[in-house]
C-alpha cells in the first residue's frame, strides 16, 4: 500500500505567504494532512470492489427493467386481442 507524502510545514508557510495567520495556516495544514491520510484514500482494490458491486446492481436493474417492458408489452397485446374480440 502506498503512502501519500505531504509537507505540512511547506503548506503552512505557503498559506502564511498568502495572508493566513500562523494559527490559521497551521490548522489548515493539519486538517488537510488528516483528510488526505491513508484511511481516507480509496485503493485500487476498493475501486475494483465498488466496480464489481455496481456491475452486479446494474445487471440486476437491467433484468428488472426488461421484465417490466416485456410484461407491459404482453399486457398490451392481451388488451388489444380482447378488444378485437369484442368488436
pLDDT digits (tens, 9 = 90+) for 35-49: 777 666 778 998 999
- What is the residue-level pLDDT of the chain in tens, covering all 87 positions? 455 667 888 989 999 999 999 999 999 988 888 877 766 677 899 899 999 999 999 999 999 999 999 999 999 999 999 999 988
Round to whole Å and give the CA distance between 25 and 36: 16
pLDDT attached to residue 52: 96
Amino acid at each position: 500500500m502506498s503512502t501519500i507524502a505531504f509537507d505540512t510545514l511547506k503548506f503552512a508557510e505557503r498559506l502564511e505567504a498568502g495572508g493566513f495567520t500562523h494559527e490559521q495556516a497551521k490548522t489548515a495544514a493539519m486538517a488537510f494532512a488528516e483528510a488526505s491520510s491513508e484511511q481516507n484514500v480509496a485503493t485500487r482494490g476498493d475501486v475494483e470492489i465498488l466496480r464489481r458491486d455496481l456491475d452486479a446492481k446494474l445487471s440486476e436493474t437491467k433484468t428488472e427493467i426488461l421484465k417490466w417492458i416485456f410484461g407491459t408489452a404482453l399486457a398490451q397485446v392481451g388488451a388489444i386481442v380482447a378488444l378485437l374480440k369484442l368488436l
